[in-house]
Structure 1
Amino acid sequence: MTAAVSIEPAKAAPGVRPERVGVLLVNLGTPDTADTRGVRVYLREFLSDPRVIEDQGLRWKLLLNGVILQIRPRRKARDYRKIWNNEKNESPLKTITRAQSDRLAADISDHDHVVVDWAMRYGNPSIRSRIEALTAQGCDRLLVVPLYPQYSAATSATVCDEVFRVLGDMRAQPTLRVSPPYYDDPDYIDALAVSIHAHLKTLPFQPELIVASYHGMPQKYVDEGDPYEAQCIATTEALRKRMVLDASKLKLTFQSRFGFDQWLQPYTDKTIEQLAKDGVRRIAVVMPGFSADCLETLEEIAQENAEIFKHNGGEQFAAIPCLNDSDPGMDVIRQLVLRELQGWI
């Protein structure tokens, strides 16, 4: 009679950790505090990045340290306090990005060897701290997800720059993947349309048109090859087609310009001002370039541009929330992540 042979599970060799997959959601960043000092620290890091301000020469450094960081933080701190999450003592962008990470972790919890985390490109939690935390948990593979629907060197590329800097200091590097932009992904366009329709139903008025406002960029960056403007146009055209709207009913604009260079046009604030002067009384604004509400959506659009519209004769203004951690928004992130993890899970 042949004796039964018991086979024990294989054990990892000493020093070898179980294989796990890390997923790191990354958004732009935020000050740690809504005061002048906190905003100054944040702006110094942000505006010292050559991906954001490409000319980091002596003239810019003198302007940044001698003028901008002496004046702008005080004004921006007031703006942050208007939208600050006082309960958690943090910006809405941090609150929402954490919620997106938590929901994604729950949505893919059946993949028990996947660890989900989140970081900010500027400010905290830093990309370095979260990559170190993921690798400490045994993640030998890493998917980085820049939460920007449209690619630009000043957003998506600088996330990669920082990830590569962190990996450059590591002896045992995780295998790396970076998710692509999703500006024309059908799931993303559908989520935008569903979200817009749902919000319009809650309004006490019917907008005469919708303005699609994207974060701006110096025109020279596009002239030198950045694909951002083309991808914003592609998003808007796909959304028009999905919602059966022509260009007069869904207008593309660019917000948040800074400095004296020419930026991508048409400008959001100038467009909204002119619409009011031309007799438009009811508008809604959607921000398809932002995956989460932040200073640029909650204060710049919902407050500043609403005031511009009403000051020039407009009557009813609505800022449509970003996808955030809503069901449609999380469907987009989940599908993107699961697609990019194929072969790893």
Structure 2
Amino acid sequence: MTAERPAHAPADHPRIPREKVGVLIANLGTPDDTSYWPMRRYLNEFLSDKRVIDYPAWKWQPILQGIVLSTRPFKSGAAYRTIWNEEANESPLMTITKQQVSKLGARMHERYGDAVMVDYCMRYGNPSTPSVVRRMVAAGCTRILFCPLYPQYAGATTATANDQFFRALMQEKRQPASRTLPPYFDDPAYIEALAASVERAYAAADREPDILVCSYHGLPFRYLTEGDPYHCQCQKTTRLLKERLGWSDDRITTTFQSKFGPEEWLKPYTVEEVARLAENGRKRIAVIAPAFSADCIETLEEINEEIRESFEHAGGESFTYVPCLNDDEAHIAALTGRIEANLAGWLD
């Protein structure tokens, strides 16, 4: 039985699920479909998040609800259609997240049996964080480890995911004890998994790339000056990857992609830097996205299409995209290690 009446309780006492620990994997999110209204709902939730765009609402919301959401859903929908998993009718991010959770769940079950429940949620879109927290509490989770799959911490990624998790807890009558997974940008197992993926890509290339571009999602530059550690953590990930590969400084570089809006963002911008590399004689490059735990619109469409086009238009000859770690066994092992370390004290 999964639920039972407490000892010494009266006969009319409701049955209570056996206690277990929840591991809740969280990623950014995905639209439910590529058509206009699902895209608009998704973009509205995403771009209304004050962690993502922190302009005053009186200034930003008229722009968002006007020109942005009137036009951007069409453009974004078209981009999603180029990568959409038609067989499963879902985005690659959703497909890969399910695969990751399946493998993580198997590892947790192998070690802890039925004492651990592994599930996933999205910060934007479905399944929503509150709905999955509710499901876990109803299943008997009296402790939940919340795991945003962002190796490097940023207010616009890790913090907003945590915010939503805490808001979900506020809705629970019996609130579970909770922990959040810290960033793992310098975890040796994560760095090893990245390095192994680079080595595989280089071994499969016809000719070795001249340079590896580590392209991270961008943020407004002022976030750095306001105390966000993201930029520094990205730089350290690149440095540790370089040291693990045994490379010199000129074989690897750090850039930032996905600039949005008029203000200055973290530089150099990937789309401009790959063109500069081509113009300066680096005709063969590889690009990896260490800030993304799963391939998504920013990697499969932006890097592998827009950024590739910028490089080739500037005279580049060979462009190698190194896929995200996704459900690679080394990645799953690294995540398992981080999760188990953060379950210490809750489980033997």
Match of 1:5 in 2: none
Match of 1:7 in 2: none
Conserved? CA contact 1:272–1:309, under 8 Å: yes
Spell out the pairing of 1:151-166 with structure 2 (5 A cutoff).
151-166=153-168
Classify the secondary structure of the residue corresponding to 1:141. strand
* 1:89 and 2:89 matched: yes
Conserved? CA contact 1:153–1:226, under 8 Å: yes
Classify the secondary structure of the residue corresponding to 2:248. coil
- Structure 2, unaligned runs of 5 or more: none
Conserved? CA contact 2:134–2:172, under 8 Å: no
User: In structure 2, what is the Cα distance between the partners aligned to 1:99 and 1:56?
Assistant: 39
- Give how far 1:39 is off: 1.4
Match of 1:224 in 2: 226
Conserved? CA contact 1:26–1:146, under 8 Å: yes
Match of 1:6 in 2: none
- Give how far 1:204 is off: 2.0
Conserved? CA contact 2:17–2:138, under 8 Å: no
Spell out the pairing of 1:93-242 with structure 2 (5 A cutoff).
93-110=93-110, 111-112=112-113, 113-242=115-244
Classify the secondary structure of the residue corresponding to 2:82. helix
Conserved? CA contact 1:52–1:154, under 8 Å: yes
Conserved? CA contact 2:215–2:256, under 8 Å: yes
Conserved? CA contact 1:21–1:140, under 8 Å: yes
Match of 2:249 in 1: 247
- Give how far 1:36 is off: 2.1
Classify the secondary structure of the residue corresponding to 2:39. helix
Match of 1:71 in 2: 71
User: In structure 2, what is the Cα distance between the partners aligned to 1:21 and 1:66?
Assistant: 44
Conserved? CA contact 1:269–1:308, under 8 Å: yes
* 1:43 and 2:23 matched: no
User: In structure 2, what is the Cα distance between the partners aligned to 1:58 and 1:247?
Assistant: 46
User: In structure 2, what is the Cα distance between the partners aligned to 1:297 and 1:189?
Assistant: 19
Q: Give the counterpart letter for 1:190 in structure 2.
A: E
Q: In the TM superposition, what whole-angstrom CA distance separates every residue of 1:86-132 from its partner, at most 9, and x where no partner exists?
A: 00000000100111101001112131210000011000011111111
Match of 2:288 in 1: 286
- Give how far 1:17 is off: 3.1
Q: Give the counterpart letter for 2:18 in structure 1.
A: P
Q: In the TM superposition, what whole-angstrom CA distance separates every residue of 1:55-97 from its partner, at most 9, and x where no partner exists?
A: 1321211110111111111111110000000000000001001
Classify the secondary structure of the residue corresponding to 2:204. coil
Q: In the TM superposition, what whole-angstrom CA distance separates every residue of 1:133-154 from its partner, at most 9, and x where no partner exists?
A: 1111111110000000000111
Deviates more, 1:14-23 or 1:130-139: 14-23
User: In structure 2, what is the Cα distance between the partners aligned to 1:11 and 1:34?
Assistant: 48
User: In structure 1, what is the Cα distance between the partners aligned to 2:249 and 2:119?
Assistant: 39
The count of aligned residue pairs is 336
User: In structure 2, what is the Cα distance between the partners aligned to 1:134 and 1:270?
Assistant: 45
Spell out the pairing of 1:265-304 with structure 2 (5 A cutoff).
265-304=267-306
User: In structure 2, what is the Cα distance between the partners aligned to 1:22 and 1:205?
Assistant: 46
User: In structure 1, what is the Cα distance between the partners aligned to 2:342 and 2:44?
Assistant: 34
Classify the secondary structure of the residue corresponding to 1:322. coil
* TM-score (normalised: structure 2): 0.94
Classify the secondary structure of the residue corresponding to 1:108. helix
Conserved? CA contact 2:185–2:233, under 8 Å: yes
Match of 2:62 in 1: 62
Classify the secondary structure of the residue corresponding to 1:145. strand
User: In structure 2, what is the Cα distance between the partners aligned to 1:323 and 1:227?
Assistant: 23
Deviates more, 1:41-50 or 1:201-210: 201-210
Match of 1:331 among 333, 336, 344: 333
Conserved? CA contact 1:210–1:285, under 8 Å: yes
User: In structure 1, what is the Cα distance between the partners aligned to 2:76 and 2:282?
Assistant: 30
Q: Give the counterpart letter for 2:96 in structure 1.
A: I
User: In structure 2, what is the Cα distance between the partners aligned to 1:78 and 1:138?
Assistant: 42
Q: Give the counterpart letter for 2:316 in structure 1.
A: G
Match of 1:19 in 2: 19
Provide the aligned C-alpha RMSD in A. Answer: 1.2
Query: Post-superposition, which runs of at least 4 consecutive aligned residues in structure 1 deviate over 2 A?
Result: 10-17
Match of 1:256 among 258, 263, 276: 258
User: In structure 2, what is the Cα distance between the partners aligned to 1:75 and 1:45?
Assistant: 17
Conserved? CA contact 1:48–1:56, under 8 Å: no
User: In structure 2, what is the Cα distance between the partners aligned to 1:57 and 1:127?
Assistant: 24
Q: Quote the sequence identity (%).
A: 47
Classify the secondary structure of the residue corresponding to 1:98. helix
Conserved? CA contact 1:195–1:328, under 8 Å: no
- Structure 1, unaligned runs of 5 or more: 1-9
Classify the secondary structure of the residue corresponding to 1:29. strand
User: In structure 2, what is the Cα distance between the partners aligned to 1:307 and 1:204?
Assistant: 20
User: In structure 2, what is the Cα distance between the partners aligned to 1:293 and 1:189?
Assistant: 18
Q: In the TM superposition, what whole-angstrom CA distance separates every residue of 1:36-69 from its partner, at most 9, and x where no partner exists?
A: 2221111100010101011132121111011111
Q: Give the counterpart letter for 1:192 in structure 2.
A: L
Q: In the TM superposition, what whole-angstrom CA distance separates every residue of 1:170-218 from its partner, at most 9, and x where no partner exists?
A: 1200110101000001111111001111122122221011000000000
